[in-house]
Amino acid sequence: MSCSDVVERRLRAVGLRVTAQRLAVGEALLHAADHRTAEEVQARLQVESAQPVSLATVYRTLHTLVEHRVVGHLDRGRGSAVYEWLDPQHPHHHALCVDCGVEVEIAPRLLERFGRAVMAESRFTPFLDHLALVGRCAACEAQTRSG
């Protein structure tokens, strides 16, 4: 199954019309190892794709895809927001150390348990497949305590 097929299936799965622009934007994010800003997505399409997409459409497409949880959206408050393809089969999260910047893996089990508890007690369904946690890794935390 090609990358294009992956995107197309995902679009249909959430009930969205399949357009050349949405496929292009989706593939740009699917191919990206890291996250991309809207402008980076568009720039990539200018170079690598036969389908140039206007920036307005990139924004509209990203917004739509985020709404349908096909892509994740992260706004760290500085400059542009970033987006990334979400794989329902492999949920992930961002646990970023404020001191050294390392990304730490968090056991999905913990997130699931937390999510269920929140749903049960707070009448809110958190999207934990793309949670952005900030904190300290073990090494930096130890250093903070000793120092």
- Residues engaged in binding DNA (CB under 7 A): 12, 16-22, 37-39, 52-57, 59-61, 63-64, 75, 78-81
Angle, vertex CA 32, rays to CA 31 and CA 38, nearest 5: 115
Query: In the window 67-126, what residues touch a copy of itself (CB under 8 A)?
Result: 67, 73, 75-77, 81, 95, 97-99, 104-107, 110, 113-114, 117-118, 121-126
The partner in contact with residue 127, picked from DNA, a copy of itself, none with C-beta cut-offs of 5 to 8 angstroms by kind, is a copy of itself
**Contact assessment for residue 62 and residue 16, using Cβ atoms and an 8 Å cutoff:** no
Neighbour tally for 32: CB within 10 Å: 16
For residue 111, report the phi and psi dihedrals to the nearest 5 degrees: -65, -40
- Per CB under 8 A, does 146 bind a copy of itself? no
Residues in the chain: 147
Q: How far apart are CA 88 and CA 65, in angstroms?
A: 13
Instruction: Write out the residues near a copy of itself by the rule CB under 8 A.
Output: 66-67, 73, 75-77, 81, 95, 97-99, 104-107, 110, 113-114, 117-118, 121-127, 130-138, 141
